[in-house]
Every structure is written in C-alpha cells, then in structure tokens.
C-alpha cells in the first residue's frame, strides 16, 4: 500500500487540466504511440469540441522512482460548477491534488471553490503553474498569488507547460514525495467509496470505486449501503486505458466493478460498497442524492415522436443518472417531459446529446427552478412547484419560497461597478468584497437561483469583457414575493411561456415578452393580440396587425358607401377567422424569452 498514490487535478475551465493528464500518461508510458491523442481522457465529442470535462474519468499509471515501482491513480474531475457534487466525491477518493493555475489568467473562481473542497478533505495540495511558455504568461506575479492563497513557499510551486512537457518529471516526483500513501486496514470488512459510474450497453453499469478498508474479490457478494441492494461482483479490476481484470482490489487502490446492473439509478455516486455477509458498520460520510436545480420542459417538435423521445431520454439517463424526467403535457406543445438538470450547462449538454446521438429535434421551454408554495388553508404543508402552471390560485396562497445561492465572482477591479449593478439588478445582496491582489476582487452575493438561470452568465462575461469567473453553491429557501405571469396569444393562454417572476420585475418582463413575441410570430390574415397577464389583470399588450387585401381597388370613383360596404364585409370575415383561426408559434419564440436583453 505504501507505493500507491491517489491524486486528482483541480483547475478552472481551460487552465490545461486535460492536457496535463495527457502528458502524465505519456511520460509514465501508460499510453502507446498508437493510442495517443489529445484530451485522451475526454471521450465524448462534446467534451473535445468545447474543451471541457463533463464526465470524470480515472486511470492508473505505473512509474519507477529511485528504483521502486509506484502505482499512481489519477482521478479526473469535471471542471464546471454544475457538477460540483461529482467533484466532491472524486476529491474524497484521493489523498492529494494538483492545483493547476494558468500563468496567463491567474486564479479563477472555480479554482478557489474546488480548492476549498480539497482542503476540507485534508488533501495534500501541489500547486502547478501551467502554460509558463506562453508569451503572455506572468509567472512571478501568479506565483505570488498562489503563495498568498495557499500560504506555501514559492519554491513549492512547480512551473510547467503541459503542451511542451516542461516540469512533468518534477510533478511526478512531487506526487510521490509529497502525497501521503493511502491509510486503511486490509483486514477489516470491505468499505469502498463509489465516485463514478458509466453505462456499457453490453455489460451494464460499470462502477468506479476506491477501497478504503478491506478488499473486494471477484465473485464476492457485495451490498450498496444507500440503496440496500446486494449483488455479486462478476468482475473487478484496475483502470488502465482499457480495463484490466484482477482477482481482487485491496485497500487504498482504485478499480472498477461489474455486477450486471442494468439501471444506472441503482448506482449512486458517493455510496459505500461493503461485504453482504460481514457489512461494515460505518458508511462513508458525505453521501447525498443529486438534486436537480433547474427544470425545463422538453417536447418533440412533431408530437408523433413522443415515444421515440422517451426511449432516447431513458438511454441518456443510463449514461447520466443526474437527469430526472417525468411526462407532462402542454396545451401549446402537446406531450413531452418535465426534466430536472444540475444547471444550465447540463441542460445545454442534454439538449445537444439528444440531437447528436439520437437525431431528436426538441423544443425546450423556459427553464425555471423549483419553488415551495404554502397555502392559507394548510400553511404547514409544503407544495413543490416545478412548473409555473402548478402554482396554486393566488387568492389562497400564503407565501412562496424560492431557492437562494451564494455566488462568488472573481473579476478585475476595473469591472467591480458593472458586475455589482448586474447582480443588484438580478436581486442580489452583496455580502462580502475581498481584494485578492491589487487588481483582482472577489465579490460574494446572496442571489435567487431563478435569476441566474436566464442570461446571467452571458451578461456577466459581457460586462466584465470576459474576465469575470463565477461559482455558486445553494444556501436554502427564502420567502419571496413572486407572481405568475401568463402570456395570452389571441385570447388563449400559452402555458409553455408562463413564468414565475418577482412582483417588482413582472411588469417590465411582461412588456418585453410581448414586444419580443410580436417580432417573432408571423402575421396572419387577422389581428393577433399578445397580452401578458397576472391572474385576470392584463399588464401589457401588443398587436400583430393583419395582412390585408385591398378590396376597394376595383371601386374607382363612385360613392363612399360602396367602399364602406366592401370594407365592412371584409371586417366580418376577419372577425370570423379570428374566432376559429389558431396561431402557429415558431420554435424561436420559446427560446427568445431567455434572451430578453438582446
């Protein structure tokens, strides 16, 4: 066990985490020349294109140092804030972490939040200054920032370049010298932490775990503590680029397990695996069910594709257990699903994967968060509102609570003003402001989650010229004065466009929604009124004028009453059409509500 090292790499998006992992694999000879490719651990097309890690991966390397063989387990972590629970479980499976900071961009918000996670788990932190070969790099200044943040010596920071391979040997040396070997008792009953799972269509769910105590052997009967289910370990092994089956995996090591489970929801990240006959008494702390934060309706463009969409969603769920969905129907869009996502990036990824992997074109409704509603009749009972149309009648409503988050934004000091005014416009309350260096400020806000679901991230990047980085964590529910704004088109309410909005912003947003829809809905043969309403009160109205044929063209000269007669006749026809005509709403109209500021 003394020759095992488990470590992860933590970094902000685009600071060179995947490239550094590639170089470590090259240097330790884990990958042959034939298997080499950039971003080797990012296996999804989407990850390669966007340059982000979505799914965490684990890989084992062997390295000889001072004549001794060492086994190094790299447990990769996703970088985005949406997947912070997965990051926390990956960190819990390690003893050390490489903190990668870009020498050109310095420390960003996610670096700090993931660093705090690592420090809470008592990990040994090895700071790495990446991209030192760039012309725009500022190694001395950024090294000082790292020293201030960690309280380490400047000599401990390893300058490196993952692209050219500078400093890779020093990093491996530091992992072996500084990261402590895993502690654990191989003779105790089995206790292992699940930090990830992948779905293999041929073999069922593959579970990735780290053994804390005891050992897991092939053919052993095991039990998952959180779900209470027992299985047989059909195959256990370690993770090189391909899987290497072994007889057993002992304490301190990382491996994979195949039990033939077909449903990804049975394997929960953060759960504890133990022996079914001699179970361990203490489960590993920190397990929680992944809670979706953002909800949106996903509907097939053609209602006949509903069953096909259901199949696609079920297959996606096998790969991504944090996606939850249930059927719902909308008067405007027909049958579809109400889906829960971890955040906006997760929603984008699911939508993109549906289109790419399953050829499904879908309509996504306005994303919203889940609220708690309390009625006057029964003020103790909490009603969960995931869809604005589920909100009880306002006359019997006692209060509505919405989820709040603690947002931390790191930006250059030149942009403090615009960033603050954006956050205050989004109903944020500033709680803290710290200067990390002379020109970098960390701002902390308490904000409603619903406000950042819309266009917050894009606008934050705009007001800070791309310099601000953003991270958030939930802090519970708070009561708010919310109203439901309905959109009526031609007198009938379109449920897919209704939203819960704070009372102070309702008039403004209702007005902008109507204006936006007027631009997007094509003109018909009759006038179409577009109205925004709170309950029975109309707060805004726009009209799309009718296309009209000049019926009086053939009356040249003559009495005015003849022209009037023709116009009256046309008016009657238009009125009748308006009663029976229905308005086609284009797909962009549903998405446009998100981009009201453009």
**Does the pLDDT at position 581 exceed 70?**
no
Band the pLDDT of 37: cuts 50, 70, 90: low
pLDDT in tens, 97-113: 888 888 777 777 667 77
**Does the pLDDT at position 236 exceed 70?**
yes
- Predicted local confidence at residue 141, as pLDDT: 80
Q: Which residue has the higher pLDDT, 320 or 128?
A: 128
- Predicted local confidence at residue 218, as pLDDT: 86
- Predicted local confidence at residue 35, as pLDDT: 56
- Predicted local confidence at residue 462, as pLDDT: 78
Q: Which contacts (CB < 8 Å, 24+ apart) does range 286-291 have? A: 286/88, 286/89, 286/92, 287/226, 288/85, 290/85, 290/321, 290/322, 290/342
**Does the pLDDT at position 51 exceed 70?**
no
* Mean pLDDT, residues 431-450 taken together: 84
* Mean pLDDT, residues 183-210 taken together: 80
Q: Check the annotation: does 131 bind a ligand.
A: yes
Residues paired with residue 363 on neighbouring β-strands, in sequence order: 299
- Predicted local confidence at residue 31, as pLDDT: 64
**Does the pLDDT at position 436 exceed 70?**
yes
Residues paired with residue 480 on neighbouring β-strands, in sequence order: 400
- Predicted local confidence at residue 319, as pLDDT: 67
Q: Check the annotation: does 359 bind a ligand.
A: no
**Does the pLDDT at position 552 exceed 60?**
yes
Q: What CA–CA distance (Å, rounded) separates 157 from 333?
A: 56
87 phi, psi to nearest 5 deg: -60, -45
How far is residue 432 CA from its own chain's centroid?
A: 25
* Mean pLDDT, residues 267-273 taken together: 80
Band the pLDDT of 579: cuts 50, 70, 90: low
Mean pLDDT of the chain: 78
- Of 27-36, 206-215, 534-543, the one with minimum mean pLDDT is 27-36
* Mean pLDDT, residues 534-555 taken together: 80
* Percent residues over pLDDT 90 in the chain: 0
Band the pLDDT of 8: cuts 50, 70, 90: confident
**Does the pLDDT at position 41 exceed 60?**
no
* Mean pLDDT, residues 533-562 taken together: 79
- Predicted local confidence at residue 181, as pLDDT: 82
The residues near 98 (Cβ < 8 Å, ≥ 6 apart) are: 7, 8, 9, 10, 20, 126, 128, 171, 175
208 phi, psi to nearest 5 deg: -100, 130
* Mean pLDDT, residues 66-93 taken together: 75
The number of residues making up the chain comes to: 598
* Mean pLDDT, residues 241-264 taken together: 80
Band the pLDDT of 393: cuts 50, 70, 90: confident
- Predicted local confidence at residue 87, as pLDDT: 76
Q: Check the annotation: does 17 bind a ligand.
A: yes
Band the pLDDT of 428: cuts 50, 70, 90: confident
pLDDT in tens, 276-332: 787 777 777 777 767 777 788 888 877 788 888 888 888 787 667 678 888 887 766
pLDDT in tens, 164-175: 778 788 888 888
pLDDT in tens, 463-515: 877 667 777 777 888 888 888 888 888 777 777 777 788 888 888 888 888 88
- The encoded tokens of residue 510 equal 């209702």
What is the torsion angle, in degrees rounded to the nearest 10, for the CA atoms of residue 426, residue 428, residue 430 and residue 435? -50
Q: What CA–CA distance (Å, rounded) separates 321 from 190?
A: 25
pLDDT in tens, 349-376: 888 888 888 888 888 877 778 888 888 8
pTM, 2 dp: 0.69
Residues paired with residue 124 on neighbouring β-strands, in sequence order: 96
Q: Cβ–Cβ contacts within 10 Å for residue 485, how many?
A: 24
**Half-sphere exposure for 478 (CA within 13 Å, toward CB):** 14
What is the torsion angle, in degrees rounded to the nearest 10, for the CA atoms of residue 177, residue 182, residue 186 and residue 190? -160
- Predicted local confidence at residue 596, as pLDDT: 62
Q: Check the annotation: does 14 bind a ligand.
A: yes
* Percent residues over pLDDT 70 in the chain: 86
> With contact defined as beta carbons under 8 Å apart, do 416 and 410 qualify?
no
For the chain, the first-to-last Cα distance in angstroms comes to 58
Q: Check the annotation: does 414 bind a ligand.
A: no
pLDDT in tens, 143-161: 888 787 777 777 777 888 8
Band the pLDDT of 580: cuts 50, 70, 90: low
């Amino acid at each position: 066990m003394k020759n095992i090292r488990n470590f992860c790499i933590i970094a902000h998006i685009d600071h060179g985490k995947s490239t550094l992992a590639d170089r470590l694999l090259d240097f330790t000879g884990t990958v042959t020349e034939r298997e080499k490719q950039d971003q080797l651990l990012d296996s999804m097309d989407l990850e390669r294109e966007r340059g982000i890690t979505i799914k965490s991966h684990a890989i084992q390397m062997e390295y000889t140092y001072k004549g001794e063989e060492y086994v190094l387990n790299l447990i990769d972590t996703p970088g985005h804030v949406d997947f912070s629970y997965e990051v926390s479980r990956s960190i819990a499976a390690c003893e050390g972490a490489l903190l990668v900071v870009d020498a050109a961009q310095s420390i960003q918000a996610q670096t700090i939040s993931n660093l705090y996670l690592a420090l809470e788990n008592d990990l040994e932190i090895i700071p790495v200054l990446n991209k030192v070969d760039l012309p725009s790099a500022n190694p001395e200044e950024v090294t000082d920032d790292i020293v201030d943040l960690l309280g380490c010596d400047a000599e401990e920071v390893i300058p490196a370049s993952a692209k050219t391979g500078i400093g890779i040997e020093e990093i491996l040396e530091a992992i072996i010298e500084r990261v402590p070997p895993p502690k654990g008792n191989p003779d105790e009953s089995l206790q292992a932490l699940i930090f990830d799972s992948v779905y293999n269509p041929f073999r069922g769910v593959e579970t990735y775990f780290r053994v804390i105590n005891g050992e897991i052997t092939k053919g052993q009967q095991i039990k998952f503590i959180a779900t209470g289910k027992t299985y047989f370990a059909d195959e256990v092994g370690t993770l090189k680029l391909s899987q290497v089956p072994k007889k057993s995996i002992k304490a301190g090591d990382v491996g994979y397990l195949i039990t033939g489970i077909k449903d990804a929801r049975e394997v929960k990240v953060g759960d504890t695996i133990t022996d079914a006959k001699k179970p361990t008494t203490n489960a590993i702390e920190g397990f929680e069910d992944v809670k979706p934060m953002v909800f949106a309706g996903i509907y097939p463009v053609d209602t006949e594709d509903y069953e096909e969409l259901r199949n696609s969603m079920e297959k996606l769920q096998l790969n991504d257990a944090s996606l939850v969905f249930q059927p719902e129907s909308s008067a405007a869009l027909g049958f579809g699903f109400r889906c829960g996502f971890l955040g906006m990036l997760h929603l984008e990824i699911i939508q993109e994967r549906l289109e790419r992997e399953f050829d499904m074109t879908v309509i996504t409704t306005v994303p919203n968060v889940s609220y708690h509603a309390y009625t006057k009749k029964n003020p103790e009972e909490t009603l969960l509102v995931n869809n604005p149309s589920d909100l009880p009648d306002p006359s019997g409503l006692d209060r509505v609570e919405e989820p709040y988050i603690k947002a931390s934004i790191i930006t250059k000091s030149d942009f403090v003003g615009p960033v603050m005014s954006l956050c205050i416009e989004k109903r944020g309350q500033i709680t803290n402001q710290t200067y990390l260096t002379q020109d970098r400020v960390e701002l902390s806000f308490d904000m409603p989650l619903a406000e950042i679901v819309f266009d917050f991230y894009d606008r934050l990047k705009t007001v800070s010229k791309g310099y601000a980085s953003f991270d958030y964590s939930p802090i519970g529910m708070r009561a708010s004065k919310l109203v439901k704004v309905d959109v009526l088109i031609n007198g009938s309410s379109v449920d897919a466009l209704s939203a819960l909005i704070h009372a102070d912003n309702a008039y403004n947003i209702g007005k902008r929604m109507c204006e936006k829809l007027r631009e997007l809905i094509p003109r018909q043969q009759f006038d179409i009124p577009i109205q925004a309403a709170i309950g029975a009160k109309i707060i805004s109205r726009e009209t799309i004028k009718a296309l009209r044929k000049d019926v009086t063209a053939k009356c040249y000269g003559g009495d005015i009453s003849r022209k009037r007669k023709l116009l009256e006749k046309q008016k009657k026809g238009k009125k009748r059409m308006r009663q029976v005509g229905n308005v086609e709403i284009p797909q962009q109209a549903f998405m446009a509500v998100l981009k009201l500021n453009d």
